[in-house]
């Protein structure tokens, strides 16, 4: 996960959130990591909206755009991004589609709380996931795909988006 040249997040709050997911995976807390990771599309979509709202359709669109390999990852193979992307997109759209144009308060609150947490010195090592049971391996794949997607989204789009930056600043000063 850390082999993404040029795509680190410059948002400490978001970077801490992503590192927390990796830490949960490293400690083999797959369900907790999945809960946090499935909030990433909600957080990303909400941050792009001036009112912090997101819809099921926007979530599905974000997943389709950002979950997938970058150029060098395509050649390396490994993770089945198509399968994982489809699965994540369906689950996120179902969970987010219950209330159209809603504000994902729980996800944003958990993101905001990350600004108070010290970043652990290490992240998740994908090589440690090689001998996991199928269900655990699938959780690692989904979390990996979502964390990579969030990093790509931030590096290629969000870091240049004034609405995202304003929303991150707003979240950072909320009590």
Question: Taking the domains of the chain in order of start, what are their residue ranges?
Answer: 12-118+129-173
Inter-residue contact 152 to 70 (CB < 8 Å)? yes
**HSE on the CB side for 152, CA within 13 Å?**
20
Q: Is pLDDT larger for residue 121 or for residue 14? A: 14
The model carries a pTM of 0.80
**Higher pLDDT pick, 69 / 38:** 38
pLDDT at 5: 41
The span from the CA of 42 to the CA of 161, in Å, is 17
In 27-133, which residue ranges form alpha helices assigned H by DSSP? 30-47, 56-66, 71-76, 81-96, 105-113
Question: What CA–CA distance (Å, rounded) separates 140 from 145?
Answer: 8
- At residue 130, the pLDDT reads 65
Closest CA to 43 of 122, 153, 160, 161: 153
Q: How far is CA 104 from CA 26, 46, 54, 91, in A?
A: 27, 7, 7, 15
Q: Left if phi > 0, otherwise alpha if psi is -120 to 50, otherwise beta: which for 169?
A: alpha
Q: What is the pLDDT of residues 98-119, one digit of tens each?
A: 566 788 888 888 887 755 555 5
Q: What percent of the chain has pLDDT over 70?
A: 74
Tens of pLDDT along 133-169? Answer: 777 888 888 898 999 999 999 999 999 999 999 999 9
pLDDT of 26 above 90: no
Averaged confidence pLDDT in the chain: 79
């Amino acid at each position: 996960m850390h082999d993404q040249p040029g795509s680190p997040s410059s948002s400490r709050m978001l970077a801490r959130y992503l590192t927390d997911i990796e830490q949960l995976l490293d400690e083999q807390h797959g369900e907790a990591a999945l809960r946090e990771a499935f909030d990433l599309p909600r957080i990303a979509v909400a941050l792009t909206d001036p009112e912090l709202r997101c819809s099921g359709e926007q979530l599905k669109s974000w997943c389709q755009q950002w979950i997938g390999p970058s150029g060098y990852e395509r050649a390396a193979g490994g993770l089945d991004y198509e399968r994982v992307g489809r699965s994540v997109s369906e689950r996120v759209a179902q969970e987010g589609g219950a209330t159209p144009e809603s504000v994902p308060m729980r996800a944003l609150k958990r993101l905001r709380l990350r600004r108070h947490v010290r970043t652990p010195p290490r992240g998740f090592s994908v090589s440690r996931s090689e001998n996991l049971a199928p269900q655990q391996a699938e959780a690692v794949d989904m979390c990996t795909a979502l964390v990579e997607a969030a990093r790509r989204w931030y590096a290629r789009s969000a870091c240049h988006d004034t609405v995202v930056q304003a929303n991150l600043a707003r979240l950072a000063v909320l009590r």
